[in-house]
Every structure is written in structure tokens, then in C-alpha cells.
Amino acid sequence: MNKKLTQVIKGVLAATVLSTTYSNTASADVMLHAFNWQYDSVTERADEIAALGYKSVLVSPPYLSNPNSSWWARYQPLDYRILLGPLGNKQDFIDMVNALEARGVNLYVDVIFNHMANMGMAKGQEQYPGFNVNTPEYNANKLYGDLSGGLFGPGDFHDGANAKCISNWGDWFDSTWNRLCGTAPDIGLPDLRGEATDGSGGWIRQNQIAYLEALKALGVDGFRIDAVKHMKWEHLNWVFNSDVLDGIHVFSEIISHSGADDSTYLQPYLDNTDVRMGAYDFRLFNEIDHAMDVNGSLSSLAQPNTLPNDRAVTFVITHDMPQNDGFNSFLFSEEDEKLAYAYILGRDGGVPLVYTDNNETPKFNSRWVDAYKNGDIASMITFHNSVQGTPMQVLSADGCSIYFRRGESGLVGINKCGNAVTKTLNTTGLNIGTYTDQLTGSTLNISGASQGVTIPARSARMWLGGGTPPPPAVWYFSGTANTWGADQMTQEGSVFTITKAFGTGDANGGPRFKVRDSNTNWNNNCPTADFAVEANKTYKITFDPAVANCAGLSVQEEVIIQPGGSCPITFSCANGNTNMGDSVYVVGSATEIGSWNAADAVKLNPTNYPTWEGTINIPKNTQVSWKCIIRQEGSPFTVRQWEQDPNNNFNTGNCDVTQAQGSF
């Protein structure tokens, strides 16, 4: 089992318990991708959207764009400052925001910051609208700024007249520096220098931030960032700073249909951006794609490779798949698409996205027009909303089928094969009573700890039931800490806990333990191999029996900080924008932070750049004065910048203080 321990400090007068734990939860409201819908169409359907159970809507980009009426023109911005185009004007947009907000539905918008439209005839000759031509209309639809001049010029793009088209999509530099182009002789889309540290880069970022803040002021709740794999992390992090991210949800499009794409683009994005920024869960999509293949197995969906729940937007189809010929191969058959939706709307984890469009690709026979309400989607959303937030436990999974329960009242079964599948399931934990399939209306009676269940060929079932909850289970701790006895654990909601002090182990090995559901036998215990812990430490042990394969077992170390010890203080320095070779440090009156000697300052980590953080132990009852500095790493006495006066001050007391914050 992987154990990730994060320290949390709790102050107590005589002694302090330093608790280390890890928790990762995500809200999973269903999002409708109303691709290329006009804004007044969303307004007209606001009642219907809310009634279907959607909690948010993603719409196509709102700004002045390439005037071509085709969908792709919305992804070629002309000016962020003006909200006007084929999808509607500023007032249409405001009406849409208000209509959705009145019904408890959030609004997300697509944004493109990698490039602009190219309205010129050659590279380096980017032409943007004459602002004296449509002055009244532009001013009436202004989002922000001064419209008396153009927004960007040739100097704001990579390489200008010498710009190249991307030729190697697997090369990070090629993809982030050069242009997105069509077939020759297309000159491509001018690639913005948003990562540049000169005045041009600052101007680009200033306008992109102003655009986001203007949309937030109108009531926008979140953003989808298009073409992120073509942007440099510095650009992305400067624009989506803490102020912009405050109170909203942001996720990115990073198409990664292979392991190489994941390691080159997706994982670096996760590693180099704020943890509040999510992404399309292409890892899960690839798992579903392989599982649905004729040679694939649904057993791979029991414990799939996914993004972290709180960063994942799960999906079955994105707008690129039907619109771009190169991505058509990513599409599921209509039957498999339905089964895939049953899986992502039935499972726990991530924000599920449902796609619909206006028939931008007639070759697919209007397949996704009104897809948001057709077929079984509405029933799947009903199931999802009914079980949201409840734990998921896989009951059975093989090549053809997968069955899992959600909490005490939800059961999902999916069969991808051409013949019916019957399984006898362990239904312990499900309420006893009658369950109704939300897709067909058929019923299933669960009367005990096991139940035979049949799923017809190429079908899914999503049962919801009521009735009598099963009696609560009892779990026991057994390990070297109690000489392998059976100590009953305490039930806290759906989980069981106990705190134990471990020594060095026993004659058969080091300190270790199991949990079991009986104090007389070992028929049902977790994990299969003993759970090993470190010697001479105290742990709080938590077990959630609803999580399959013993994955609900975790430990939380508890360390006693005795009087006279030190206090772990987390220092943070905001707005620490640095150049190559420089880093942010803390220096101050305490010996542990250099005694005001810059050469002995303590370096922080760019955990949430440009905010730097680090934890330093300071003795109890110590008065501390300190500042943030930007210093050369290779020349300790070369300080680039000191934090402005006055000094930051705190007293550690009895570890009552846990954080110290500064800013440039």
C-alpha cells in the first residue's frame, strides 16, 4: 500500500500531537459540454438542463474571434477585450450566466491562450480589426481595457516572419514554440510569447489575466484551457495565479493517447502547475478504450490508472474527436459509448463530462445533437446524483463484465460481450429490499449477503434501492502491538479506527498488523500480507471495508512533541518570481534561519510558484523576526531582492504557531 504522509500540527498546552495523514476527495457534479451552442440557446434550455441533473455547463470561447461561422473559428481569438461573435454578444452571455445561476447551475468557458487568429497573408503580418470601424458595437460589448488600439502585434509572437509549423508532435520544444498549422500552404496560428520575461510577455499575461477576471466578474465559475500541451508552464502558472484561481475550478485539455504523450505532456503538467488545476483524465479514457476493445478486459477497470480524483475531469468523448479527422479513431461505437458513460457516471471519482453539439460533423448523422438528454444519459445522471459521495466497491470483474456497488443503495453492472452474463455477488453492505434499474425500469430484490445478477448482452444496469440497512460490521486489530490478539476497532461513520503503539516486532519479523472481521477466526482479513510499519512509533489505523482489495486501509503516524522541543513552522513567500540561478530563501533572527546572515538563509521550494514554501523546526517559546529574500544559489552573498519592511514577526510559543507568511 502507498502511504503518503502530510504533517498537520495541533497545539496542546502540555504536549502536542503531530499528526501525519493523507486525504483526497473530489466533488463530482456532472458537467454538460454544450459545444458550439449559441449562448441564447443555453439560456432557453436552462430549465431543462437543471431538471436533467447537470450542475455545470461548459460553453465555447467568449471573445472576438475569426469571423468564420465554422466551429474551429471560435478557437482563433482576435481580441480578448470584446465579447462578440457568432455565438452571441456580451448581453447574451450575461443572460446565460444569470439563467444558469438562478437554477443552481455553474458556468464554465473555454479559453485559448496559446495562440491568436492569423488574419494576415504571411507570417509576421498578423492583422487585427480596425478599432475605428465598429467602435460603437465594440464598446457596447467590451469586457475590459482600452479599445483605441490593437491588442497584440507581430513582436508578441514566437519567431515572427521566421515562424515554423509544428513538425514533431512528440517533441516538447517543437510543440510549445512553433505554430499549429493546417495543410500547406497554411501559415499557421501565431504562437504567443506568454512565457517571455520581457515587456511583451508581461503585456500578454496582463491581458489574459484581465480577461479571466472580467469573466469572473460576470459570474463565470470555471475555465477549460485549450491546447495546454502547446504552452510553457511558466506562461500557464503566471496567468493562473492564486488570485485567478480563487473560488473557481480550472481544468486543461492535454490530449495524451499514449504513454509517450503522458510522460511528455500530461505528467509534467501535473507536476508543474497548481494542484487546484485539473485536466481531462486521458489515463482513465485510455483504460476504458483498451477495456472495450475486443481483446481487452473489463477487469482492468476495477483499479484503473487515473488522475487524482480532485484533478480529474472524466469523459467519453471530447469535441476534438468527432471534429478533427485525426482523432476520429478515438471514438467509441454507439453501444460502447453508452457502456462507457455508464461506467464514468456510475463510478466514484472525478468530474464527469457529457458531450453534445450542434451537428458540426454531419458525417456522423447528428449522433451528438441533443445527446445530453437522449437515450439513457438522463437516467445515468439520476443514478450518479443519487449516490454521489458514497464509497465504491468492486464486487466482480472479468473480461466481459464488471459489477460495483455505491454506498448502501447503488449497484452497477456492465457487460460488453455478446452474451448474457450471470454472477453471484457478495451484497454485504447493500440495503435489503427492492432495487430499480434506472435504465430499463426492471427490478432486483436483494435479500441477503449474496445475490445472483444477470446482465443481458452489450448492456448496462444501474440499480437504486431502499429498504433496511444491513447490521453494522465489527472489525478487529491484530498485530505485534497486541501480540496478535483481537482488539475491537471504533466505528466512525463508514470507517473503523484504532490507535496503537508499536515496538520492534516479534520473533517472526518487525512491527506489523492486520485487521479482521472476527475475533475468533481469520477468514476475512486485510491485507493479504501483513501491513508493516516503522518500529517504536504510534499509529492511528483507519479501515474502510467498502473499498475493494483492502485499499481502504491506511495509517496515520502520531508523534508526541514533548515540552522543550521544537515546532515545525511552514514558511511561505508569495510573489517570488525568479530568474535562472536564483531561488527564494528565508532569513531572520533565529539560528535556524541564518541569524540574519544571507549566506546561511534557508532555501524554500517552489511548491506553488511563484509562492515558495518550506518547513523549518524552530525552538519553542522563541521570538522570531524574518524576511523573504531572492538570492543567487551559487553566490550566497548576492541577494537580488529583500522583502520590504517591516519584518515579519511571530513567537513559536508552545507550537501554537504553525505557519509564517511573507510576500515580495
* Catalytic residue list contains 337: no
Identical topology for domains 31-387 and 392-465: no
Residue percentage of the chain with pLDDT more than 70: 91
pLDDT tens readout for residues 179-201: 888 888 888 898 899 998 999 99
Cβ-proximal residues to 302 (8 Å cutoff; 6+ apart), any chain: 394, 397, 402, 404, 548, 549
15 has pLDDT over 80:
no
Query: Span 79-97, mean pLDDT?
Result: 96
Where b means 16+ CB within 10 Å and e means fewer, 613-624 reads bbebebebebeb
Mean pLDDT over 458-482 rounds to 84
Instruction: Let me know: does 585 contact 603? Beta carbons within 8 Å.
Output: yes
User: Can you tell me the mean pLDDT for 66-72?
Assistant: 83
- What are the cell numbers at 217? 466578474
Find, among 225, 234, 245, the residue nearest to 193 by Cα: 234
Q: Could you give the angle at which helices 282-292 and 334-346 cross, rounded to 10 degrees?
A: 130
pLDDT in tens, 300-327: 999 999 999 999 999 999 998 988 877 8
Q: What is the pLDDT of residue 25?
A: 28
- Is the pLDDT reported for residue 410 higher than 80? yes
- Other Cβ atoms within 10 Å of 389 Cβ, number: 12
Q: What is the pLDDT of residue 624?
A: 94
CATH number for 473-561: choose from 2.60.40.10, 3.20.20.140, 3.40.50.620, 3.90.79.10.
2.60.40.10
Mean pLDDT of 611-627: 91
pLDDT tens per residue across span 246-276: 999 999 999 887 666 788 888 988 999 998 9
253 is written with which cell numbers?
A: 485539455
Which CATH topology does 31-387 take? TIM Barrel (3.20.20)
97's grid cell: 450566466
Predicted confidence at residue 471, as pLDDT, reads 52
Residues in the chain: 664
| pTM, entire model | 0.68
Q: Is 621 helix (H, G, I), strand (E, B) or coil?
A: coil
Model confidence band, residue 470 (pLDDT cutoffs 50, 70, 90): low
- Grade residue 18 by pLDDT with cuts at 50, 70 and 90: very low
Mean pLDDT of the chain: 87
| pLDDT at site 547 | 77
Rounded average pLDDT over 655-659: 86
Q: 226 an active-site residue?
A: yes
Give the CA count within 13 Å in the CB-facing half-sphere of 254.
34
Identify which of 184, 306, 176, 178 has the alpha carbon closest to the alpha carbon of residue 228.
Answer: 176
What confidence tier does 5 reach under pLDDT thresholds 50, 70, 90? very low
Q: Is the pLDDT of residue 532 over 70?
A: yes
* Among the four given CATH numbers 3.10.20.30, 2.40.50.100, 2.60.40.1180, 3.30.420.40, the one describing domain 392-465: 2.60.40.1180
Q: Picking from 35-44, 399-408, 462-471, 480-489, which range would have the lowest pLDDT averaged per residue?
A: 462-471
Contacts of 417 (CB under 8 A, 6+ apart): 399, 400, 401, 457, 458
pLDDT in tens, 444-453: 999 888 999 9
- Does 566-663 carry CATH code 2.40.30.110? no
> Which sequence spans correspond to the domains of the chain?
31-387, 392-465, 473-561, 566-663
Range with lowest mean pLDDT among 9-18, 190-199, 477-486, 650-659:
9-18
Q: Which of 39, 31, 82, 36 is nearest to 57 (CA)?
A: 31
Which of 92, 221, 253, 357 is flagged as catalytic? Answer: 253
Q: Decide if 299 contacts 288 (C-beta within 8 A).
A: no
Is 461 buried (19+), middle (13-18) or exposed (0-12) by CB count in 10 A? buried
> Are 57 and 107 a contacting pair, CB within 8 Å?
yes
Select, from the ranges 73-82, 116-125, 398-407, the one with the highest average predicted confidence (pLDDT).
398-407
Among candidate residues 126, 226, 234, 376, the one labeled active-site is: 226
